[in-house]
Amino acid sequence: MRVFVQIPCLNEEETLPLVINSIPKEIPGVDELHILVIDDGSTDRTVEVARSLGVEHFVIHARNMGLARSFSDGVDYALSHGADIVVNTDGDNQYPQDRIPDLLAPIIAGEADIAIADRQTATIKHFSPFKKAMQRFGSGVVNKAAGTKLPDAASGFRAYSRNALFRLNVVTQFSYCMETIIQAGNKRLRIASVPVETNAKTRESRLFKNIWQHMFKSGTAIVRSFLMFKPHVVLMTIGIIMAIIGLIPMVRWFVFFLLGDGAGNMQSLLLGVMFMLGSFLSFVLLVIADLQRTNRVLLEDTLERVKRIEFGGPHVAGTQYTVLDLGHDTDGVEEVQRLRFDESSQ
């Protein structure tokens, strides 16, 4: 059993030693434990500090690419090096690394595909009442979209089995947390929740400027992920509501028409026709969305097979790769060289 603990970092030279030194050296059921540092465009000595602490695996971004991209690149690196389980934690020492064995236990035992730490946010002292309420609300929305019952959907302290990572695809640019849960729930992956107590706060979050920005970006990610899997729920609901609203003025006009006063109530007919057209368009979009959903399922199945072929072979111990920024194309889309293997590190 080979486990990679990946640590996304952005200027974490001060707290990174606390994280790395608290990671257990040996874990029951684990044959190899590797630490992977993902440097997301740090301007301090994060990489140097990690090397001095014995870290041998790195993914380095030339500039800040965001948490979602850091997670995806780290997963690609870990899978290419034969990881059976990937644990994700943070470089700010928010999470208790000594609980990694508990996080791995349900996956090693074959009881879960994903294990997510429950920070028990109601007990965190530095969380305001409003933030605690929003955490509960956000987790409830994610659970509704995913069909799960997780108490802390926003927790980034989690473990993924190799099979789960083959089936998950991160497309958002903000955070992978909500998206992977919604995907996992809709793909019927087993998710376990492990209660933990967080460490004392070391700094403010660098993922978002304030809670409102966090709520907006998280909400956007949730909506996009939900629409990927259940577009029929939204479009059918809109179509039915508009049809009902459209029928009311049309029935009203028809009644007046039977009474011989239809010409004087044409506004009801026009209003009803407008809503009925909107309902018709919603059902047309529903058909298109369903066809796209079918196409997405086929593409994801193909991508899963490609991942199994790409990452299923033998790994090369000690190999590193760097993610390099190559600028922008004419459309402003970032182009990066995803993998550049450094043979000198072998």
pLDDT in tens, 135-152: 888 888 888 888 899 999
Is the predicted pLDDT of residue 334 greater than 70, yes or no?
no
Q: Is residue 311 part of a domain?
A: no
Are both 197 and 163 inside the same structural domain?
yes
Q: Is residue 105 part of a domain?
A: yes
Please compute the mean of the pLDDT values over residues 58-76 and round it to a whole number. 91
Q: Is residue 42 part of a domain?
A: yes
Are both 18 and 116 inside the same structural domain?
yes
Are both 84 and 166 inside the same structural domain?
yes
Are both 177 and 262 inside the same structural domain?
no
Predicted local confidence at residue 320, as pLDDT: 43
Give the range among 76-80, 217-221, 330-334 with minimum mean pLDDT: 330-334
Is the predicted pLDDT of residue 232 greater than 70, yes or no?
yes
Q: Is residue 258 part of a domain?
A: yes
Is the predicted pLDDT of residue 316 greater than 70, yes or no?
no
Are both 110 and 8 inside the same structural domain?
yes
CATH code of 116's domain: 3.90.550.10
Q: Is residue 327 part of a domain?
A: yes
Domain count, the chain: 2
* Residue of 233 and 319 predicted with greater confidence: 233
- Domain with 81, as residue range(s), is 2-225+318-345
Q: What is the CA radius of gyration of the chain?
A: 25
Q: What is the pLDDT of residues 104-124, one digit of tens each?
A: 999 999 999 999 999 888 777
Contact 183, 163 (CB under 8 A): no
Predicted local confidence at residue 323, as pLDDT: 42
Note the pTM of the prediction, 2 decimals: 0.76
Are both 207 and 236 inside the same structural domain?
no
Q: Is residue 309 part of a domain?
A: no
Q: CA 318, CA 299: separation in Å to the nearest integer?
A: 32
Dihedral angle sign, alpha carbons of residues 121, 126, 129, 130? negative
Most confident of 94-108, 174-188, 296-310, 311-325: 94-108
Q: What is the mean pLDDT of the chain?
A: 83
Contact 196, 123 (CB under 8 A): no
Are both 215 and 244 inside the same structural domain?
no
Are both 260 and 209 inside the same structural domain?
no
**How would you label 200-235 residue by residue, b for 16+ Cβ within 10 Å and e otherwise?**
eeeeeeebbeeeeebeebbeebbeebbbbbbbeebb
